[in-house]
Structure 1
């Protein structure tokens, strides 16, 4: 343990950087900054990473006691969604896209599905089956794979203006897209944890066009 462990920091799991680089991109980490959207003018694509819960008031709900939000991240990331860039949302990132598109979240998924397989324990990833809409962007990216990892206690209740293109085997929404955009895809799982660079390759490919 270092002596600076209690100092606020802007951090990102290195697996995201590795996934972007393995996909042929260069990673730039953006700290939360409500006034920082202009930085996107010099970037080619955007990954909205996983992390803390979206604040419930962002979708008109009272906060569940188990909701653990980061209002500073919300304030810095919501303005980025409107950028004319390819966007990949991962876990929290998918939920943020959903709320930005007028959707709502289940604040504690075990209350809805009756089990904790989507986050078996602190720091423990689950695994479950998944199905995709044939011909959708995520179906093309995943090339017929039918299982993904899982680590989340919140999930999409209403996708708003996004199109739902994937579900887990218990009916939880696992993928969303905006087919009117060059590339805007959200996934509920963590491909970077399993070293699956395909979603990142799709993002980099869209950014190169």
Structure 2
């Protein structure tokens, strides 16, 4: 059986060093494609492109992962820039927001990870807290903390227990975007997962980094949904 093909958003680093080379490169940490593969999917990296081509690109994959990374420019949710918000990544912002819009329009299963969850919320009209103090961990250090599922949500059906998750972030979801519900929270009330409750669509965002963990339950569910999406959109055989 053909594995569902999962597109993973990437970003451009202006100086990527390997061997004798020091050049711009589109990349994503290997944990993303390794998690997709461990959960039964095939992975393809999606470098930044013309946002107008996002639907065309998503027509070639069965599911989408929007990866973690730097802060979204607050211009996208109508806020003034907090001095603690990172430098803009305009090309990446436009590309990933276009990918999310195209995935939602085409019912392509979508998992947003960390920045990807925040981008999902912003794409649907939500806002972000630009800096949270005292949430977890020291600056610049990946740490772990518990998240609690919200009963009745897709996430709770996948992970019904309180789970320790790897986390690294200083921003969080504030006002929810259109149609989204909270599906997991930290002990301090920080939103840790959001989703669209429509059972016909698989759309979920997590604030933590499952690509830094061994738990594949969320990704396995995305892969299963992507397989169904592929079957529904398979071309009709010509007799």
Q: Same fold (TM over 0.5)?
A: yes
CA distance in 2, matches of 1:90, 1:53: 13
Once the two structures are superposed, the pairs formed by residues 1-209 of structure 1 within 5 Å of their partners are 2=18, 3-5=20-22, 7-33=23-49, 34-37=51-54, 38-68=56-86, 69-82=88-101, 83=103, 84-110=107-133, 115=134, 117=136, 119-122=137-140, 124-161=141-178, 162-180=180-198, 181-209=200-228
Where do 4+ consecutive residues of structure 1 move more than 2 Å? Answer: 1-5
Paired residues of 1:36 and 1:76 also in contact (CA < 8 A): no
Residue 139 of structure 2 aligns to a residue whose secondary structure is coil
Deviation at 1:193, TM superposition (A): 0.3
Q: RMSD in angstroms over aligned alpha carbons?
A: 1.5
The structure having more radius of gyration, on CA atoms, is: 2
Residue 52 of structure 1 aligns to a residue whose secondary structure is coil
CA distance in 2, matches of 1:41, 1:63: 35
Deviation at 1:116, TM superposition (A): 5.0
Long gaps (5+) in structure 2:
1-16, 229-239
Paired residues of 1:19 and 1:196 also in contact (CA < 8 A): no
Paired residues of 1:150 and 1:188 also in contact (CA < 8 A): yes
CA distance in 1, matches of 2:93, 2:57: 17
Long gaps (5+) in structure 1:
none
